[in-house]
A = this chain, B = another copy of it.
Amino acid sequence: MEDLLKVKAKIKEFTAECGHQKSLELLELLPTGKMLRSKLILKIAGVNEESIQLCAVVEMIHAASLLHDDVIDDAMTRRGKPSINAMYNNKTSIMFGDILYSIAFTKLTFMNLKIAYNISNAVTLLSIGEMIDVDLGETFNTDYDVYLDMIYKKTGSLIQASAASAAILAGLEESKYATYGRNLGIAFQMVDDILDITADEATLGKPAMADFKEGKVTIPYLKLYEELDNSGKERLKSLYKKDLNEEEIAWLKNSFATTKALKSSIELTQKLGFEAIEAIKDEGNLALIDIMQQMCDRKF
């Protein structure tokens, strides 16, 4: 998509301005993701200098958060390619994350104040969400509201802020797009959490069924826990954060196959998707319905 190339060029331009050659080299090594946030912004605000700049800022923030994420999760791959911490080391990943964050924040100071506030505040929420995510890995969390609050902060907040900020650029009603973005973001994370179980390593670009071992009790596990009887609940808890053997993997897969855990998780993402579309249904922007549907139906 040609417009996304403009965003990538803007990111390069912003990075080049700081005059640090190594940052430009590291930038080239970052894998390009789906650029969901940019697609969203451009569909709401159209393609113009301001919206491209906003996209660049948001993508730089997203990339910075992933650079720190990969250090925190000890992730050796990102989108099927070696991560910066794998290619260089943790230090480089932390420092390059800080550089991208601060360039983005500097560029925000030239933008609409409300946009600057929305995006900056979202970074606080996503950083707190990341910490809650790690802290939840200490115990087996069965509280749906705690999980929902965490994924809202970790993933929903920046997508919400992106949609709301794009609406401000376009002179549209901010709150409607914020609701849309919040729901899209939460559903997006839940789809990720479901794919961790249903997709294979080749499709994901990272090991499959990794979340549970990493201490993440995601929505399908929450739903599974709800459905299992007491002995099943105990068994599930006993597998938490463990390297599973074949028999244990088989039990887990069978549990997902014989309960409605996955189905009701998928229904929940669809419900969130519906609420998102409901919020902007009178705005006449069919592309946003497409984005939501693509996101709910995606296989990776």
Q: Does A135 contact B (CB under 8 A)?
A: yes
Inter-subunit contact B72/A131 (CB<8 Å): no
- Contact string, A97-137, partner B, CB cutoff 8 A, digits 1/0? 01101110110111001001100110111011011101100
Q: Which residue of B lies closest to A120 (CB)?
A: B106
The interface bits of chain A over 181-223 (1 if a CB of B lies within 8 angstroms of the residue's CB, else 0) are: 0000000000000000000000000000000000000000000
Are B124 and A95 interface neighbours, CB within 8 A? no
A20 on the interface (CB 8 Å rule)?
Answer: yes
Is A123 a contact partner of B95 (Cβ separation < 8 A)? no
Set of chain B residues within 8 Å of A71, measured between Cβ atoms: 90-91, 94
Return chain B residues, CB-CB under 8 Å to A134.
91-92, 95
Contact A90 B92 (CB under 8 A): no
- Does A78 count as interface, using CB distance less than 8 angstroms? no
Q: Are A124 and B109 CB-contacts (below 8 A) given A72-B94, A135-B22?
A: no
Asked if A92 and B124 make an inter-chain contact with CB atoms under 8 angstroms apart, the answer reads no
CB of A70 to closest CB in B, whole Å: 11
Tell me the complex Cα distance, A131–B101, Å: 14
Q: Would you call B68 and A98 a contact (CB within 8 A)?
A: yes
Q: A18: CB under 8 A from chain B?
A: yes
User: Which residues of chain B come closer than 8 Å to A18, judged between CB atoms?
Assistant: 124-125, 128
Q: Does A269 contact B (CB under 8 A)?
A: no
A110 to chain B minimum Cβ distance, whole angstroms, is: 8
Q: Shortest beta-carbon distance, A187 to chain B, in Å?
A: 24
For A124, the chain B residues whose CB sits under 8 A away are 18, 99, 102-103, 106
| Nearest Cβ on chain B to A72's Cβ, whole angstroms | 5
- CA distance in complex: A71, B105 (Å): 23
Roughly how many angstroms separate A116 CA and B117 CA in the complex, as a whole number? 12
Does chain B have a CB within 8 A of A265?
Answer: no
Q: Please name all residues of chain B whose beta carbon is closer than 8 Å to the beta carbon of A110 when the two chains form the complex.
A: 117
- CB of A72 within 8 A of CB of B99, answer no
Name the B residues within 8 Å of A102 (CB-CB). Answer: 101, 120-121, 123-124, 127
Which residues of chain A have a CB within 8 Å of any CB of chain B? 18, 20, 22-23, 65, 68, 71-72, 90-92, 94-96, 98-99, 101-103, 105-106, 108-110, 113, 116-117, 120-121, 123-125, 127-128, 130-132, 134-135
A-B contact pairs, 18 of them (CB 8 A): A65-B98, A68-B94, A90-B90, A92-B134, A94-B94, A95-B127, A95-B130, A98-B101, A98-B127, A99-B128, A101-B123, A101-B127, A102-B121, A103-B124, A106-B120, A106-B124, A109-B109, A116-B116
